A and B are shown apart, each in its own frame.
Chain A
Amino acid sequence: MKSLMSFALAIFMGMASLAMAEEAPRRGGTLQSVLWPEPPGIMTGIYTQSSALLPTTKIFESLLTYDFNLNPHPNLAESWEISPDGLKYTFKLRENVRWHDGEAFTADDVVFTYGDYLIEVHPRARAVFERAQVSKLDDHTVVFELKEPFAPLIRSFDLCCLIVPEHLYKGTDFRKNPNNLAPIGTGPFKFDEWKRGEYIHLARNDDYWRDGLPYLDDIYYRFVPDAASRALALETGQMHIATQNDLELFDVDRLSKLPHLDVTTKGWEWGSPIVWIEMNLRKEPFSDKRFRQAMMYALDQNYFRDVIFQGYAKVATGPVHSASPFYEPDVPAYRQDLKKAEALLDEMGLKPDADGKRTTIKLLGLPYGEMWNRSAEYTRQALRKVGIEVILEPSDPAGWATRTRNWDFEMTMYFLTTMGDPALGVSRTFLSDNRKQGVLFTNHAGYANPEVDALFNKAAVSVDEEERKQLYSQVQKILVDDAAVLWLVELVWPTVYNKKLHNVVTGASGPNSSFADAWLAE
């Protein structure tokens, strides 16, 4: 009996130590990551394509990082303070940080990044940081001073706005600086090699400011152009991770069942993309709210979620993403109801002809692959059921962008990142003073509602979080009732990764975090 007990104890101890060994991060290993499409460059600020972000965010770092609820956490800034009137942001910087070329990281780098570099090269960052005057108090303290409060500022220090080395960029032509080809950052990984058409190689930064990190020796970002080949590469274990649009969603479901792979949909809270159909409200019949509402009632959002996006989506109820702290769930609901849709169209006087057709409209689809083709095709079929004939207009990315930004459409389908705070990513679509022909991702539809303008503008400058929530709640109710755009689904991008890989998605930046903590089991 005693020997049996000892045997059982030995097995238990063995299992326990095995479990502990599995939990302890391992130093070493090479991460193989899918990257598609091959980015044109990886210099932060200049190349902001989503595929450029994956390697860029390993080389460069931000002042702050954000958790899944978009709360800020220290990174290159070890602490910060916001004055009660919301006009002054003071950041205390870390003192033990060095650039990959050995120079010390100081307040000059931060002042240069936000005061000069980003203002010149990065249009989205420019919209935020042009509001602030950045100055240095001492070598490790910087101050952002605003003329009027702008509460979203504290949520603006992540992906778009990584810090660049002043000593290499000041006084140069930023876009033509030779360092763009071999970027120098402060991050856990250094740029090593870019074999065009094949891979980007990043090597471990042995002088990283977080002791003992990163765990990984290096990272290869491999360009695999074909979606089926990317799925196969994960299946065979050649690649450890793929994310965002790397995989067709019908492959994700299959891959998720394989024993060596895991799937997470977390890590896109900062982007929070919503799929919608924007209508040109300058044209009949879109200018009539009843027509827009009728289309909302004719479409089945659950179909988009379950069939087209294979469950990797969530029904969108309005302009603010449900991951946002400003989300208002209590808005008018548009469950599919064909009778209601027909009644609204009848009320407008759009009676069906002998073939059952009431009107014909055009939809400019998003040329980003199979999911989007299916979305447009379903929209056509669903609207036909209530007598609205839809002509699908094909295009390629350049054609889509040109027609949309020049208001040359009747309906255009796309997705837009709502960027954590409505003042950063939502109001731009609805503010009447943002109707800028020729500029993409503005108010293309021509929506104009003085009440909505007033609410958005007041919320952007309020420093009282509760008041902001209240104001955004009101604006959501108005916009949804107006059916200002046809909200379809919130996109949930899957990250598929090998179970050997740990600490993949640890915050709102998901796979675009620094990977300092990521490690590979044997």
Chain B
Amino acid sequence: MRFVYAFAAWLPRALLVLVAIGLLNFFLIRLAPGDPASVLAGETGASDARYIEEIRKSYGLDQPLWLQAATYLRNLATFDLGVSYRMQRDVADIIGERIPATLLLTSTALVLAIIIGTLLGIQAARRAGTWQDTVISAFAMLCYATPVFWVGLLLVLLLSVHAGILPPFGMSGLIPKSGFAAVLDALHHLVLPVMTLALFYFAVYVRLGRSATVEVLGRDFVRSARAKGLSERQVLRRHVLRNSVIPVVTMAGLQVGQLLGGAVIVESVFAWPGIGRLAFDALMQRDYNLILGIFFVSSIMVVLANLITDLAVRSIDPRVGRS
């Protein structure tokens, strides 16, 4: 019942946030100099005023801004994201094609990073001040401080160019396969980009896991648990872990919201057909409908992720939200 109340309170707020984000994005993108007509004319080398006017008219860009905004909101209410100016295709279709690749990459990387990072962070906290702590913390710091594009290229050099064991880019082989072979092929191609992205996320969770565990290990209830005669393993599992994962869950929730935003750099380095690169290109080309569509889908994801995180934290720690 508690969760139902939480959801009922969340829904109107979420809708309001989505409308506000939609409107803000609409006006922000139009503040940037240039419009789709400028970009298309630039790309085609067109020296023809008629061409620019035709583009503007056919996309409704010649109408007053308030009217364009009203049309945009009306369409949004029916989940009509419009047509991409450049590609002449439905924005929903374009986004739908790219979302699976992005989700596969970012969620695999995030899950690996959360599990390995948090466990190593807890281990570092348990052995705080020892060589194990130093090695884990230093490695995490190194991963965090190293630029993602550089790690990506280095891994390609090592594992693709020199060792020749992993493909350097793409989501499928040079000659595309079908059926189960295609799934295996995609997994094979997934390894390098996931490693690159996971190394970055991993560092965050090592730091979080370590600091949260160090803090919890010093709390009175842990001392009491030990005084009761519980084994170190029991203390850790029953008392420490449950408390130290709260910041981890909160951070994971925030990052899940960003999953759909994609990983622009990793997607670029590995030619991964995700949505991050699509968003970047759409922004550069002022493809208003496409960029607004991506922002809208991302904002839904963020709002949903916040709800799920909130519910998860309530379930781990019943004190949250009781007031």
**A residues whose Cβ falls under 8 Å from a Cβ of B:** 30, 32, 37-38, 40-41, 48-49, 122-124, 126-127, 175-176, 180-181, 195-199, 201, 220, 222-226, 228-229, 232-233, 235-236, 238, 395-403, 405, 417, 428, 434, 436, 438-442
Contacts and interface: CB of A to CB of B under 8 A. Distances in A.
Interface string B88-108: 110000100110010000000
B184 interface: no
B18 to A, nearest CB: 26
Interface in B101-138: 101
Of the four ranges (under 10, 10 to 19, 20 to 34, 35 or more), the interface on chain B belongs to: 35 or more
Contact of A196 (B51, B88, B153, B273): B273
Interface stretch (B9-17, B223-231, B249-257, B278-286): B278-286
B38 A398 contact: yes
Contacts of B172: 195, 198
B268 A398 contact: no
Contacts of B267: 225
Residues of A contacting B: mostly: mixed
B43 A48 contact: yes
14 contacts: A197-B273, A197-B277, A226-B149, A226-B269, A228-B269, A229-B271, A235-B161, A396-B284, A397-B42, A398-B32, A399-B32, A402-B34, A403-B33, A405-B41
Q: Which of A124, A235, A401, A434 has the most CB of B within 10 A?
A: A401
CB-based closest 9 A-B pairs:
A197-B273, A398-B34, A123-B48, A40-B86, A123-B46, A401-B42, A399-B33, A402-B34, A123-B51
A455 B125 CA distance: 82
A441 B98 CA distance: 35
A508 B47 CA distance: 23
Interface stretch (B163-171, B194-202, B303-311): B163-171
A123 B89 CA distance: 22
B154 to A, nearest CB: 11
A195 B168 contact: no
Given A48-B44, A175-B88, A439-B47, A402 B38 contact: yes
B8 interface: no
A442 B153 CA distance: 42
A232 to B, nearest CB: 6
Interface in B261-313: 267-274, 277-278, 281, 284-286
Contacts of A233: 168-169
A440 B47 contact: yes
B46 A441 contact: yes
A116 to B, nearest CB: 15
Contacts of B68: none
Given A402-B38, A442-B47, A224 B271 contact: yes
A180 B88 contact: yes
B115 to A, nearest CB: 29
A64 to B, nearest CB: 20
Contact of A401 (B39, B157, B272): B39
B50 interface: yes
Contact of B160 (A38, A124, A236): A236
A123 B50 contact: yes
Contacts of A201: 176
Contacts of B94: 196
Contact of B41 (A41, A195, A222, A401): A401
Contact of B34 (A399, A428, A434, A438): A399
A200 to B, nearest CB: 12
Interface string B43-69: 111111111100000100000000000
A395 B172 CA distance: 35
Contact of B88 (A176, A195, A395): A176
Nearest to B43: A49
B174 interface: yes
A399 B29 CA distance: 12
A56 to B, nearest CB: 13
A2 B98 CA distance: 71
A122 B281 CA distance: 23
Contact of A197 (B33, B50, B58, B274): B274
A198 B286 contact: no
A225 B32 contact: no
A199 B171 CA distance: 10
B270 A439 contact: no
Contacts of B160: 232, 236
A413 to B, nearest CB: 14
A32 B39 CA distance: 29
Given A37-B281, A197-B274, A402 B33 contact: yes
A198 B273 contact: yes
Given A226-B269, A398-B38, A403-B33, A440 B46 contact: yes
A438 B47 CA distance: 10
Nearest to B48: A123
Contacts of A220: 174
A198 B170 contact: yes
B45 A436 contact: no
B175 interface: yes
A192 to B, nearest CB: 11
A134 B94 CA distance: 39
Contacts of A181: 89
A176 B191 CA distance: 40
B38 A123 contact: no
Contacts of B43: 48-49
Given A124-B44, A124-B47, A440-B41, A232 B271 contact: no
Given A40-B86, A123-B51, A225-B267, A395 B33 contact: yes
A307 to B, nearest CB: 25
A222 to B, nearest CB: 7
Given A397-B285, A441-B45, 16 more contacts: A40-B84, A48-B44, A122-B44, A124-B46, A195-B273, A196-B98, A201-B176, A220-B174, A226-B268, A397-B42, A397-B284, A398-B284, A399-B32, A400-B34, A401-B34, A436-B47
Contacts of A228: 153, 269
A428 B86 contact: no
A417 B42 CA distance: 12
Nearest to A239: B174
Nearest to B157: A232
B87 interface: yes
B286 A398 contact: yes
A207 B32 CA distance: 50
B52 A195 contact: no
A197 B98 contact: yes
A222 B42 contact: no
Interface string B141-184: 00000000100010011001100000011111011100000000
A425 to B, nearest CB: 9
Contact of A49 (B44, B97, B169): B44
Given A229-B271, A439-B49, A196 B86 contact: no
B174 A232 contact: no
A436 B49 contact: yes
B170 A428 contact: no
A226 B156 CA distance: 13
Contacts of A195: 172, 176, 273
Contacts of B277: 197, 225
Nearest to B101: A197
B88 A222 contact: no
A207 to B, nearest CB: 24
Contacts of A122: 44
